[in-house]
Structure 1
């Protein structure tokens, strides 16, 4: 079967769904490794961008009043992070660079590729997962399908890549 064939996406979706049903969910440690790698990438890109654009977000972490430049730096960081996750998880790869390194992908509940809207919902659901003392993330270690709170919100699964 050719990878450009319409049936290829359907085959990948079936394989991902089967992987989930057969215990092929990504482990908490795989997800943590992917998260650390992704955050490292985002840190370097955000730091470089805010430094070269001179938004000054780095030197003002001493509790001083936020300036317009600090606010712009935070907005840029949020937009970069959102774009990084939502665009990659809704792409044909179905994974960020960190997830690809760990051999895992994000799917909907039927093993299909996410829409950009669902990937966006998943991303903003992560903010809630983190706001409650990271308990939303820790859920992935204890739930049957290894889902974090943001996966429940968006109706997604993180499974081992069906190669």
Structure 2
């Protein structure tokens, strides 16, 4: 797959739907972790690490998607339309936190840009596209 004018980019609602599914995965994970880890510092550190590894591992896998993205029928590709490396996927999830620090501004870019890229996608040179491309 190559990124072209014919590429169908994932819409903001598709990406939000996928996020909500992944959020449920982490909500369950957080509840289970809370029974095992009583110290807040360790709890949040481990949960943050799990979120990063989850996204990086799945988005750099053959699926090219987390559970939420797979269910939403979207996937993450690099600027050549190929699978991300683990490092690219890890950098992508870490840069999402920059959007949080900017009061979600980096996520709102998805809604307004023609290529539906958020700040993290622009910085890491990735695209989220429909699986049917």
Could you tell me the TM-score, scaled by structure 2's length? 0.95
Mind listing any 5+ residue stretches in structure 1 that lack a counterpart?
Answer: 1-13, 56-68
Match of 1:25 among 1, 4, 9: 9
CA displacement 1:69-121 (0-9 Å, x = unmatched): 11000101101100111100000000000001100000001110000000011
Shift of 1:47: 1.6
Match of 2:117 among 147, 160, 163: 147
Match of 2:28 among 26, 40, 44: 44
Moved >4 Å (runs of 4+)? none
Over the aligned positions, Cα root-mean-square deviation in angstroms equals 1.3
Number of residue equivalences: 133
Distance 1:21 1:40 in 2: 34
Mind listing any 5+ residue stretches in structure 2 that lack a counterpart?
Answer: none
When Rg is computed on C-alpha atoms for both structures, the one with the higher figure is 1
- Taking the TM superposition and a 5 Å limit, the aligned residue runs for 1:101-140 are 101-140=71-110
Shift of 1:23: 4.2
Could you tell me the TM-score, scaled by structure 1's length? 0.78
Distance 1:46 1:117 in 2: 25
CA displacement 1:104-161 (0-9 Å, x = unmatched): 0000011100000000110111000111110101100111200000001110000000
